[in-house]
Chain A
């Protein structure tokens, strides 16, 4: 569950347009085919474009943050390597906090970061299948 509402700024607006459609947008270099991280400033170079990723990847590393305050359940956080290559630092849902999550296959889901009209949809990752 997202910890707090997230709002767009000029740098993240296109990414959130994607999450609203259920897409995880990466950047791609049309001349080389190289996949680049979502944070890449696509508008800075003509050869860059935004392309939806498959939304699948594997867990590179994870940590478990104990519950605190209103959030009583622990949060499992992870570095996910997307199948296209880039890394994404994220929350894992529907996983056993005590389990061995190394190389776990995961898939993006999109959740509202808050109840407000301007609270963006954010990606979390759950086990595939």
Chain B
């Protein structure tokens, strides 16, 4: 036994007591700020508390400038003991739960709302234009990359995925297996934007976004907001919902420059944040019942499965394409709401929200039988930022 697994080691002793989700997807005529306010109000109501009971607020947005810590005023919150903006891109949601838990454990505050919202989609504008329109042309060194047409996450992740394919023999059929399996989950998720089944043939026939990525390798774009309420496990037990404990967490920010040969595309920070989270939670991978991964691309889900250790490095392709492994009838319950590929793209709030729903046993038709331990993974930047949570229902 190492020191970190002895009884003297830190235990979070916090829980997620509330989940608030606005209408998600092609929802027009509302701003990110409005989504954020509604999400917090819904999360408080879900927990069975008043908005005024919140004494800590962590905010984050997507590509919309949207709002900042001035959201406090929109929510009418006074005398907060914690207020900050958090930005770790796709790892933000897991980070916010971590910082909220630390603040509660230290006695700073009792009840923290963590909120994320965005409004990239505009009516009568193509979905694909939403993220393109967000950025102006780069300058300095980045202009050299940009003028080479390496401008979007699609292209950067495509380069990462191709490197994985070259190194390990990963194939597009294997990426497609993830898209097909997650769509099968999404058919049972009333919140999902894509609910019609997808075949491997349809996956291959979908247009190129940045080869080797087809359209169905890539996440959706969505408007909306999601918030969670974090409080002490003790207090959560007195509130309205089944307690979803925060058992452990980890982060990893590898800091690879991309300026010389490194593990770009081959290994992600999940290889570090995962073991850290499991260790804090005093659990092991074989005790994890449900896995909610950040899946901005099929490839991201695949490489994350490798890095968490669900299969050996380089064997992710064979693993995900093994009959009976993924999907609702599969051995490993991964991205049970359809993930960002098929349900909704709320950055790190997508895997976190589905994790909470499953852990509580509130997933309806898609509810998995065993849901005592749920692993949540966030991935931000171009594989630059990782956050992991282990949630539980003991």
Contacts and interface: CB of A to CB of B under 8 A. Distances in A.
Interface string A60-104: 111111100000001101110100011101110000010000100
A61 to B, nearest CB: 4
Contacts of B30: none
A6 interface: yes
Contacts of A102: 166
Which of B144, B257, B261 has the most chain A CB atoms closer than 10 A to its own CB? Answer: B144
A96 to B, nearest CB: 12
Interface residues of B, number: 34
Which of B143, B163, B265 has the most chain A CB atoms closer than 10 A to its own CB? Answer: B143
A74 B207 CA distance: 13
Interface in B187-225: 207-213
Given A63-B155, A63-B212, A77-B159, A86 B260 contact: yes
Contacts of A106: none
Contacts of A5: 147
B159 A12 contact: no
A63 B211 contact: yes
Interface string B212-254: 1100000000000000000000000000000000000000000
Contacts of A3: 146-149, 151
A89 B149 contact: no
Contact of A89 (B158, B212, B213, B258): B258
Given A61-B162, A77-B155, A89-B148, A66 B141 contact: no
B146 A4 contact: yes
Nearest to B258: A87
A39 interface: yes
Given A11-B140, A65-B149, A79 B208 contact: no
B8 to A, nearest CB: 45
A62 B159 CA distance: 6
B140 A64 contact: no
A102 B155 CA distance: 17
A113 B230 CA distance: 51
A65 B155 CA distance: 7
A87 B259 contact: yes
Given A61-B166, A61-B265, A85 B260 contact: yes
Interface in B74-129: none
B362 to A, nearest CB: 40
A33 to B, nearest CB: 15
Contact of B259 (A74, A86, A122): A86
Contacts of A85: 260-261
B254 to A, nearest CB: 15
B137 interface: yes
B329 interface: no
B148 A87 contact: no
Contacts of A75: 148-149
Interface string B146-187: 111111000100111011001000000000000000000000
B210 A65 contact: yes
A97 B139 CA distance: 28
A122 B140 CA distance: 12
A2 interface: yes
Contacts of A87: 258-261
Given A63-B158, A63-B159, 14 more contacts: A3-B146, A4-B146, A6-B143, A7-B143, A39-B141, A39-B259, A65-B149, A65-B155, A65-B211, A66-B208, A66-B211, A86-B259, A87-B258, A122-B148
8 contacts: A4-B147, A12-B141, A63-B210, A63-B211, A65-B211, A90-B148, A113-B147, A124-B148
